[in-house]
Amino acid sequence: MALEGVKMLSIQRLYVVGERLGLSSTTSIYNHIRAGLLPHPVQVSVRSVGIPSNEIDAIIKARIEGQSEEQIKALVLDMHAARAAETGKPFNAGWLARSEEHKAQAKLRKPRRTLPFSAGLPVSED
Predicted confidence at residue 89, as pLDDT, reads 75
Query: What's the pLDDT band for 85 if we cut at 50, 70, 90?
Result: confident
Predicted confidence at residue 123, as pLDDT, reads 57
d(CA 66, CA 74): 14
Query: What's the pLDDT band for 83 if we cut at 50, 70, 90?
Result: confident
Residue spans per domain, the chain: 11-90
Can you give the pTM of this predicted structure? Answer: 0.68
Q: At 20, is the secondary structure helix, strand, or coil?
A: helix
| Torsion, CA 97, CA 76, CA 24, CA 7, rounded to 10 | 120
Lowest mean pLDDT among 28-32, 74-78, 81-85, 93-97: 93-97
Cβ-based neighbours of 104, under 8 Å, separated by 6 or more: none
Predicted confidence at residue 101, as pLDDT, reads 73
If 0-12 CB within 10 Å is exposed, 13-18 middle and 19+ buried, where does residue 115 land? Answer: exposed
Query: Is pLDDT of 118 > 70?
Result: no
| Eight-state DSSP code of residue 45 | E
Predicted confidence at residue 76, as pLDDT, reads 94
Q: What is the mean pLDDT of the chain?
A: 82
d(CA 36, CA 52): 16
> Per residue in 20-76, pLDDT tens?
999 988 889 999 999 999 999 988 888 888 999 999 999 999 999 999 999 999 999
Q: What are phi and psi of 11, to 5 degrees?
A: -105, 120
